[in-house]
Structure 1
Amino acid sequence: MRARDVAFAGLFAALTAVGAQISIPVGPVPVTLQVFLVLLSGLVLGARLGFLSQLVYVLMGAVGIPVFANFQGGFAVLYGPTGGYIAAFPIAAFLTGYITEKSGRKTGMVLGSLAGVGAIYLLGWLRLGLFLAGDFHKAFLLGVLPFIPVDVIKAALAVLIADRVRKAMDLG
């Protein structure tokens, strides 16, 4: 792995940490810029480096660095109601990057971003449902449904920005 790759992965881990602090509380799951930056990491860095950047982010938070929303950190956050969403970030970045790489430019970017959001919702919904004593219907109503319009906008913005960022970073 080249130094440039490590630097870009670290940059996106740091950007995700900053995006987590831009938070609007709406029940047990806040609206943050994390999803936008997770998708952007997969779109810009590709599957492998996008995954790595988000894995670094999750590990930083797991060991107690306050990088999660509201300057939280520690394993307890991953075990809490939002833990599934956070744990899904590396998978989402990988899926977004992989589908983009395999499917072509714009179509792949859109499909990859939607797959990434889907992975975040799936793991987040499952963990929130378990946290709510198995009430998966309530978890869907609290942790997925209200976020769909916002996350579709985030995905669209990530797709629009990713091509320009890749060109500016000379990634093609």
Structure 2
Amino acid sequence: MKTKELALVALFVTLTIVGAQISIPIGTVPITLQVLMIFITGYFLKPFYAFLVQVIYLALGIIGLPVFAGFSGGIVHLFGPTGGYLMAFPVAALIVGFSKKDYFSMFIYGILGLAIIYLFGFSVLAYHLKSFSKAFFVGVLPFIGIDFVKMVLAVVISKRVLKVVEA
């Protein structure tokens, strides 16, 4: 790994940690900026590095550092109601990282990344709530519009910053 990649990985791990702390608790699943950071990570970095960022983020949380939403940490979070969302982050970042950095590709891979997050998150949440319908209404439906806006925002931010960086 080159110095540039190492610095970018550290930067995006930090951004994910900060995004987790910007949180609006609305019930079992809070609204955070983690998904925005996953999109930006994937749009900026190659797939492997985007995946690595989120694996490092999870590892920091698993060992107990307060990097998850609400300045919390510990492996218990991976086994709790929101654990599926957390476990989806590396896979979603990897998928988003495959975009070709044009608007259409970024949109399609963003939708796929979001689908991964919802699939993992919904599955684990349904297990904890013992209800697929309740998990959908608590952990997916309230977030679709918000997360779509986050994806569009990430595309706009990424395109503008990449344009400046590559110039």
Q: Same fold (TM over 0.5)?
A: yes
* Equivalent residue letter for 1:154: K
**Partner deviation per Cα, 1:112-157 (whole Å, 9 max, x = no partner):** 1111111100000001011113x11110110000000100000000
Instruction: Tell me by how many angstroms 1:168 deviates.
Output: 3.6
Change beyond 3 A, Cα 1:59–1:168: farther
Q: Which residue of 2 aligns with 1:78?
A: 78
Q: Equivalent residue for 2:105?
A: 108
Aligned-pair Cα RMSD in Å: 1.2
Correspondence for 2:135: 139
Please, which runs of 5 or more residues in structure 1 have no aligned partner?
none
CA distance in 2, matches of 1:46, 1:167: 16
Question: Structure 2: which amino acid aligns with 1:151?
Answer: D
- Please report how far the alpha carbon of residue 48 of structure 1 lies from its aligned counterpart in structure 2 after TM superposition: 1.3
Runs of 4+ in structure 1 deviating by more than 4 angstroms, as ranges, are none
Q: Could you state the TM-score of these two structures normalised by the residue count of structure 2? A: 0.96
Tell me by how many angstroms 1:167 deviates.
3.1
Q: Tell me if structure 2 keeps the 8 A contact 1:91–1:116.
A: yes
The residue that corresponds to 2:163 in the other structure is 167
- Equivalent AA in structure 1 for residue 118 of structure 2: Y
> Shift of the alpha carbon at 1:166?
2.1
Number of the residue aligned with 2:149? 153
Q: Which deviations, in whole Å up to 9, do the C-alpha atoms of 1:77-117 show, x marking residues without a partner?
A: 1111111001101100000111x13xx61111011111111
Identity of aligned residues (%): 46
User: Could you say which residue in structure 2 is the equivalent of 1:30?
Assistant: 30
CA distance in 1, matches of 2:158, 2:21: 22
- Per the TM alignment, residue 169 of structure 1 is displaced from its structure 2 partner at its CA by 3.6
The match for 1:124 is: 121
- Structure 1 length as normaliser, TM-score? 0.93
Provide the rounded CA distance (Å) in 1 between the counterparts of 2:35 and 2:58.
13
Aligned residues: 167
Question: Which deviates further from its counterpart, 29-38 or 54-63?
Answer: 54-63
The CA distance in 1 between the partners of 2:148 and 2:122, in whole Å, is: 17
